Amino acid sequence: MTAEKRECVSILVDAGLSIVKACLFVGIGRATFYRPERDWRKVDAAVIDAINAVLEKSPRADFWKCFGRMRFKGFPFNHKRVYRVYCQMGLNLRRRTKRVLPKRIAQPLEVLDQANHQWALDFMHDTLYCGKRFRTLNVVDKGRESASLLKSIRLCPLAVSYAC
């Protein structure tokens, strides 16, 4: 990308435009135009070797785990440089996104007017003014809309199965 912009600036300079105006037109800084190109693989060879050494043991390690292991081994590279090289090597992993479930088709619920066909259970709890807690199990027959209320201070599953 920067090499292409440098070529554009050099073409504009050859056409008679000044370097300052050509750099402004293309959108790069004048220092970038004058700076010699360098291959990041040669400059960051030590970082690349360190990353590859860490990834030999655990190839699916993310950046921070890799960077932590490099620091533990004693490499002095800062995280910005390591992350730049990590991304240039194409190792940055995409974050897993949640799977989108298919839309559920909304269907109206069927309510039958028969007794003992559909029941609803609900546990409720409350506290009295004196501080005593109590829990209730509400059982409703949806066909007759009649409710039976089972009250107990300590409601255990055995008592619920016995009462039903």
Residue among 95, 143, 98 nearest 119 (CA):
143
- The tokens 């990590």 sit on which residue? 86
128-151 pLDDT, tens digit per residue, is 888 888 788 777 777 666 555 555
86-131 pLDDT, tens digit per residue, is 998 888 867 677 788 888 888 887 766 677 777 778 888 888 888 8
Q: What is the pLDDT of residue 131?
A: 87
- Strand ranges in 39-118 using DSSP code E only, listed in sequence order: none
44-74 pLDDT, tens digit per residue, is 999 999 999 999 988 888 889 999 999 999 9
Domain-wise residue ranges, the chain: 1-37, 38-93, 119-163
CA–CA dist 79, 68 (Å, integer):
9
Distances (CA, A) of 32 to 3, 7, 28, 67, 81: 10, 12, 7, 30, 19
For 139, the 3-state DSSP assignment is strand
Average pLDDT over residues 7-30: 91
